[in-house]
Amino acid sequence: MKTEKKANITTIPFLGDIILSGSRTLIGIALGLLTSGILIALSNANPLVAYGAMIKGAFGDIYAFCNVLVRVSPLLLGGMGVAIGNKAGIWNTGIEGYMYLGAIGSGLVAIQDWGLPSALHILLAVIAGMAFAAAWGLIPGYLRAHRGVNEVTCTIMLNYVAIYLTNWLVSDAGFFAESGAFFPMSKIFQDSAQLPILLRGTSLHPGVFVGIIVCLIFFFLLKYTPFGFRTRMLGGNPNAARYSGVDIKKQIILVMVLGAMLGGLGGAIEVIGLRHRVYSDFVTGVGYECIAVALLAGGNPVGVIFAGFFFAILKVGGATMSIETGVSSSMTSIIMALCVLFVIGVGLTDNHRVKKKSNKADAVAVVKQKEE
Amino acid sequence: MQEPKFALQMTDITKRFPGVLANDRISLDCKKGEVLGLLGENGAGKTTLMNVLYGMHQPDSGKILINEKEVEITSPSKAIELGIGMVHQHFKLVETLTVLENIVLGIPSNKVFLDLEPIRRRLLELCQEYELYVDPDAEVWKLPVGQQQWVEILKALYRNAQVLVLDEPTAVLTPSESDQLCRAIRRLTSEGRSIIFISHKLREVVEITDRVTIIRDGKLVGTIPTPEATQAKLAHMMVGRPVSIDRRPRQALQQKKPVLVMKDVNALDERGIQALKNFNLTVHAGEIVGVAGVDGNGQKELAECISGLKKPVSGTISVNDTLITDVVADPKFIGFIPEDRQKTGLVMDFSVAENLIIKEYDKEPYAEKRLLNLQNIKKHAQDMIKKYGIKTPTDTVKVSTLSGGNQQKVIIARELDSEPILDIACHPTRGLDMGAVSGVHDVLMKERERGAAVLFVSAELQEILALSDRIIVLFRGEIMGEVDGDTADAFTIGQLMLGQALEEKT
């Protein structure tokens, strides 16, 4: 009886989709947390206490929560960058690189004093960051569209190039690097190029709101515009897209470059909002976490918001958990990975079930039609 | 004791699935040494009935008798033990294993080590005996589909099947392979084995079978001896109303206004081999030009060049004096029913409504001010569903949940509703059952009457003969010959398909 009812809810378009995919994700996350709990217990800590510490670490006070908000910003932007690629059937795994390029681009603008008003300086820095990342994304985009090069290999390789390019810039490039620094870093950004702090005593900058707005914009773009239709068609069946007159090469490049720009925006906001310098290795895997965010979200822009927050909570709370219970700090990554795996796994089994059900529903419908 | 007369009797078989009565008191019987045809549209219940026979489903009621003794078939292995062999429409072979290994699979054995030699010898004997030659050591995925079919049949014969069920065996075969299959079937029946031959190609059923059992909507329509059956009669019984793929009556073309003009077109296929050679063709408004030929003689490239999906190496193609230089995705101009509906024609994950506008999503009224107008899209979908009789619960379900015939209707609605100047229909009836085929023919005839130029590509000669005003026959990328639709006969076209040019008439 209960399952009957659920089937009814899920047949409502949109709301049903959200309930179905949402519950699927929650089940996956629950299983992931459960399995991680076993691992935590194995490392001689009480899982409940550990998770309690994690929640306290993320929500314990306003500073802790601001920390979550700061951490979520690059995850939202980068996650959306990957997700838009997913929708088009492309694995844009170069977010790490785009973030470095975005940081370099905005850094080049931000370290100079142009005598501009702050808003304009920030805007210029952001635009420069996105432009640099876009140019970087053009490389795998072009290679994929016109030369058929696998975009995953290409973007991951380019990530390394981006990392070493950044390292060189912040250690040896005289015009950019801080001289005599204890750690490779760029010159400090001008005050006018730094994002405002929203809450005194924290490092909360507006990045998180930019991230949420961007996700909502892309939700709208994908669902309600011809651009979104084209993108989804490309992801659904590239042959059909070409047959329907879509310039699929152009669309592939466009989607890659858009993803790169979002990654670049994430990197730019990270440096002008939080770090105020470009450091070597400052992204440290966030770009790859963005891929997991998009996976967890199933490519859905609204899902990216939830998935991004989930990861940020794990990251911030995980540090507290590690301090309070002595569980290794790498446990956070393990929890993330397990949750993603379980969500994907549940999604797969669920798809089979839904397919079976809809086949059956179809058979019933056909029979009814015949009876009529 | 007298030798039993019937190899198989199924009496009053009823099988119910949740919400569906798949088999409703169906009876059939098959004598020793007989070929029984089992006819029915897609979804009529043929496959369910055969799955009951093969022990995959248990009937809710009814009896099965083998050699006139009642049996209970609880599993496929029980069925095999009873001498029932089944060749499924979709082969059940392990593609990465060799032919021999596939034969060995599932043979009960209590030995620890397999001795393949006697099995190989027996297999080669069987190949010889039935003229179904395959290399025992070839990996299955490397074999052409026709030979994979032989493997399935040999597998059943190796297990000494007395009743062999062939589910749409000719769907994947070339004409010469079909002949080979026919010879093997004759051979098998002469040894007293029985064949149940499932097909919806009426011509074959009439040629091969001794008797035909027809089912419709899960119920038995009747069983008739083949000599009393005509294709028209069988089609009528199968669909429940008179249908024909006979030649459609038509009025002669009044005036000749060229629409599609191809001049000296040369094109390559995907592998870079010449697929069209100095190709010249003109199709006029209000005529159907049938393109006959064995698959792979340039039909695909022809359609792709005209629709702009493929760029010819040289030559020009114009439609209504407009040169085709890029993909044409304007259904007011060219309506294109592609060869492979799932691979090219539809986005399977999209809804029916979305699939109906994949060529016009960015044009009014579906897009206004750079936004999709979801209301207009929905309204259009509901209009199309009604107008073209697309059987779907709603316009929001994924097109992948629809049956093949209804998927094709979605494509037809999209491509032809805007009344294009030129229609390209590539194998529009492939995989459809009789009722749907006749529906597609109606649509194409209406297009002709409307004044569209229609290019109709098909591998089914009968369909080409039924619809075409003119017939061109492709052979290795060239037009081997052109015949008038009214006077054409299958034999001449068959000759042309094999590459024998018409003799000059003196």
In this predicted model, what pLDDT tens digit does every residue of B285-302 receive, in sequence order?
A: 999 999 998 778 899 999
Is the model's pLDDT at B89 over the cut of 80?
A: no
pLDDT in tens, A323-350: 999 888 888 889 989 988 998 888 666 5
**Interface contact A244-B358, CB threshold 8 A:** yes
- This complex has an ipTM of 0.82
> Residue B300: which residues within 8 A CB-CB, separation 6 or more?
B269, B275, B339, B426
How far from B281 is each of B3, B299, B312, B472, B482, CA to CA, in Å? 63, 13, 14, 9, 10
Identify the domain boundary among B366, B395, B418: B418
Residue B76 lies in a domain: yes
Same domain, B105 and B184: yes
Q: Is residue B408 domain-shared with residue B426, that is, in the same domain? A: no
**pLDDT bucket at B505, cuts 50 / 70 / 90:** very low
**Average pLDDT rounded to a whole number, residues B212-235:** 87
Helices B231-239 + B434-450 axis angle, to 10? 100
The residue with greater pLDDT, B125 or B503, is B125
Q: Distance between CA B209 and CA B36 in Å, rounded? A: 6
Q: Which of A225, A234, A237 to mutate to test the interface with B (most CBs of B within 10 A)?
A: A237
Asked whether residue B249 is domain-assigned, the answer is: no
Identify the pLDDT of residue A78: 97
**Claim to verify: residue B150 and residue B231 sit in the same structural domain:** yes
Out of B214, B239, B264, pick the residue that ends a domain.
B239
Residues B356 and B450 placed together within one structural domain of the fold: no
Chain B, nearest residue to A235 by Cα: B347
Is residue B426 in a domain?
Answer: yes
Q: Residue B416: name the closest of B331, B314, B312, B302 by CA.
A: B331
Flag whether B486 is in a domain: yes
Q: With a cut of 60, say whether residue B503 has pLDDT above it.
A: no
Position A159 pLDDT exceeds 80: yes
Residue B185 and residue B141 share a domain:
yes
User: Cβ of A11 under 8 Å from any chain B Cβ?
Assistant: no
pLDDT digits (tens, 9 = 90+) for A27-71: 888 999 999 999 999 988 899 999 999 999 999 999 999 999 999
Q: Residue B187: phi, psi to the nearest 5?
A: -60, -45
Positive or negative torsion for Cα B364, B368, B370, B371: negative
Q: Does residue B506 lie in a domain region?
A: no
pLDDT given at position B77: 87
pLDDT tens readout for residues A195-247: 999 988 889 999 999 999 999 999 999 999 999 999 999 999 999 999 999 99
The verdict on B405 and B424 lying in the same domain is no
* Greater model confidence, A167 or A364: A167
At B356-405, the pLDDT tens digits run 999 999 998 899 888 999 999 999 999 999 999 888 888 999 998 887 88
Same domain, B349 and B327: no
Looking at the complex, report in whole angstroms how far the Cα of residue B208 sits from the nearest Cα belonging to chain A: 32
Residues B55 and B125 in one domain: yes
Amino acid at B357: I
User: Please, what sign has the CA dihedral across residues B2, B6, B12, B16?
Assistant: positive
A229/B362 Cβ within 8 A: yes
Average pLDDT score over chain B: 87
Indicate whether B85 belongs to any domain. Answer: yes
Residues B288 and B364 in one domain: no
Cβ distance A236 to B348 less than 8 Å, yes or no, reads: yes
Q: Are residues B321 and B351 in the same domain?
A: no
**Contact residues of B toward A, CB < 8 A:** 17-21, 43, 217, 307, 309, 327-330, 336, 338, 343-350, 354, 358-359, 361-362, 367, 370-372, 374, 391-393, 396-398, 401-403
Range of the domain at B475: 254-333+420-498
Token duo for residue A89? 């059937």
Check whether A14 has a pLDDT greater than 70.
no
Interface check A87 vs B, CB under 8 A: no
Mean pLDDT of B459-473: 89
User: Which architecture does CATH list for A62-327?
Assistant: Orthogonal Bundle (1.10)
- Banded model confidence at residue B19, pLDDT cuts 50, 70, 90: low
- Domain with residue B218: its CATH number is 3.40.50.300
Residues B428 and B410 in one domain: no
Domain count of chain B? Answer: 3
Residue A214 confidence (pLDDT): 97
Q: Do B19 and A367 touch (CB under 8 A)?
A: yes
Domain end: B370, B402, B418, which one? B418
The CB-side HSE value for A216 (13 A sphere, CA atoms) comes to 6
The domain segmentation of chain A, as residue ranges, is 1-43+330-372, 62-327
| One domain, residues B327 and B195 | no
A201: contact with B, CB 8 A cutoff? no
Q: pLDDT higher for B44 or A95?
A: A95
Q: Which two tokens stand for residue A83?
A: 């997700």
Using CA of residue B91, residue B93, residue B96, residue B97, what is the dihedral sign? Answer: negative
